[in-house]
Structure 1
Amino acid sequence: MTSDTVPVPPGGEILRYAAFTTRPDGGNPAGVVLDASGLSTERMLAIAAEVGYSETAFLIPGRAEGTYTVRYFSPLLEVPFCGHATVASAVALAERAGPGHYVFATPAGEVPIEVDKDADGVLRATLTSVEPHVEEAGEADVAEALALLGWSPEDLDAALPPRIAYGGARHLVLAAATRDRLARLAYDFDGLAAYMTARDLVTLQLVWRESEDVFHVRDPFPVGGVVEDPATGAAAAAFGAYLRELGAVTVPATLTLHQGDDLGRPGLLHVELREGDARVRVSGAAVAIP
């Protein structure tokens, strides 16, 4: 990021954090602007493109303590919600103001976040999603997605059928029958981008179930100009809603999602489903990138 290429925000800092990890070279990197007051949409998009991460979060402080209006930009477009940039932003705030409660007013709705410090001194943020929902995925749409991925119907796990899930953004969930199928990801970038744009999908949530409560996931993100998102909190929230809707887990449940291993940026996401509360909680650590 250079100030002579893109105007520096009024707050003077464009921070970089890795989310869902305690290592700067793990998880998913996000840009964070803690005071984006006065920045136009065009300037936010230009900054996000220059930073080059899958998303950059732009925060505008609210009147009440701990409240912020937040917008999220990929290098190509604005997205309604981004989990990893939310976690990164909340940890960045907690490093300056201390652990506690924050509320982000996002384009998708209000997202509360709790930041705690564990016994090792690591800050961990837990976001509570907006009200999620799950819908059927048409057979023709699924067939087209599989063709663009280079998958066959036999590559899918019959116990976890395709669905479109929402927890702040829309994701097509496809479950692989084997870890090997998930590991071999090579797809038609332009074709999948067009497919997803036409259906208002932010990522594909590709998953493989290792055990009752442990999953491995990958998220192609061509609509944002990114081949693959290394750790995707919004998709994790949607996936939690998907599992609840299918009855594929026993609620209450805490799930562990491994993401980024195939990219060499391992990340760890925890998804909590509570009885009597449809909203999904996603938690993880974050660390500043030097």
Structure 2
Amino acid sequence: MISRLSVSIVRACLRAGTGGSPTAVLDETRLSDVERCRVPVLAGASHAVFVSVGGSDVSLRFFTAEGELPACGHGTVAALAFLAERAGGTEYRGTLRAAGRSFAGWAVREEARVRAAFEPGPVELREPTAAECGLVLPALGVGRDTLAPGTRVASVGRARLLVPVTSRAALAALAPDFGQLQSACDRFGLLGCYVYSVPTRSGRIAARMFAPSIGVPEDIANANSTACLAADLAGRGVTGIAVDMGDSLGIPATITATARPGPVVRLGGTAKVTDLIRLP
């Protein structure tokens, strides 16, 4: 039964201690997948993370209103904050499992907030096809005057389109046709589209993630897409980035990522457990 379940609300990927993506985190329980999809809706979040602790290993499952995801970056940051708060002490380290993959996660408690990091795994990159660009870019509202070089299809679990635009102003002005975008993404098996501004010399970037195919028209924070971008930029000499998201929704969020040869990407974010609620 889903009613009266205890759910922690974790604001993941805060910016200067504020904003962050509200994420529902709860202990693994006996629910059908249909019921799991209802949890984020009832909790007022875009994503829910189900946490199962078995000895030193922690298994994670991620759901949106539309179904299960093989991976979720900001959901992993939220889960690490949840685990660190429960463990007490200053530091938390654990082995996380999701979609058949194991990886290490770290968290450091800093007063009321938790700084978390993990390695999301290998990133696959390829050039998009003309057909993909021909359908997806118009649905996004990205034209030749605002498109910058370097569009890629990237995957860490599921494929998504990385689309660079010339400026933060061009990014802020986007108003996608969500019905058209969902149809295009579904046709090519894309999770969604991560549109970002050209990096500054310091590696500061603004981004917006549109994913209507998974029930999230626009995501406040999308860490796995940030990992994909970090892997792509590492091949162009950019080894560290800080990505600002959520501004168009009035909820600021920031995700950091570093990449070393391989590339091996490490994602980071700050989170805070803000509420403990019971589902209606």
Q: TM-score, normalised by structure 1?
A: 0.87
Q: Is the 8 A contact 2:227 2:267 kept in 1?
A: yes
Q: Deviations over 1:179-238 (max 9, x none)?
A: 211001211112211221222222211000241311111101211222210111111111
Q: Supply the distance in 1 between the matched residues of 2:246 and 2:29 (Cα, whole angstroms).
A: 33
Q: Which structure would you say has the larger RCO, counting Cα contacts within 8 Å and 6 or more residues apart?
A: 2
1:17 partnered with 2:2: no
**Structure 2 runs not aligned, ≥5 long:** 276-280
Specify every segment of 5 or more residues in structure 1 that has no aligned partner in the other structure, as ranges.
none
Shift of 1:148: 0.6
Paired residues, number: 272
What is the match of residue 121 of structure 2?
130
CA distance in 1, matches of 2:42, 2:159: 26
2:37 maps to a residue whose letter is L
**Where does residue 21 of structure 2 map in the other structure?**
28
Task: Confirm or deny: 8 A CA contact 1:230 1:267 kept in the other structure.
Answer: yes
Query: Which residue number in structure 2 is paired with residue 274 of structure 1?
Result: 260
Give me the whole-angstrom Cα distance separating, in 1, the residues matched to 2:162 and 2:100.
20
Give the alignment of 1:190-269 within 5 angstroms. 190-212=179-201, 213-244=203-234, 247-250=235-238, 253-269=239-255
Partner of 1:155, secondary structure, is coil
Contact 2:196 2:205 in 1 (8 A): yes
Residue 153 of structure 1 pairs with residue 144 of structure 2:
yes
Q: State the secondary structure of the residue aligned to 1:265.
A: coil
TM-superposition CA deviations, 1:93-131 (whole Å, max 9, x none): 10110322122211262232111235x663111010121
Percent identical residues: 26
Q: Distance in 2 between matches of 1:288 and 1:52?
A: 15
Distance 1:14 1:186 in 2: 33
Shift of 1:289: 2.8
What is the root-mean-square deviation in Å for CA atoms of aligned residues? 2.0
Does structure 1 conserve the Cα–Cα contact (< 8 Å) formed by 2:132 and 2:188? no
Describe the SS at the equivalent of 1:283. Answer: strand
Give the 3-state SS of the residue equivalent to 1:14 in structure 2: strand
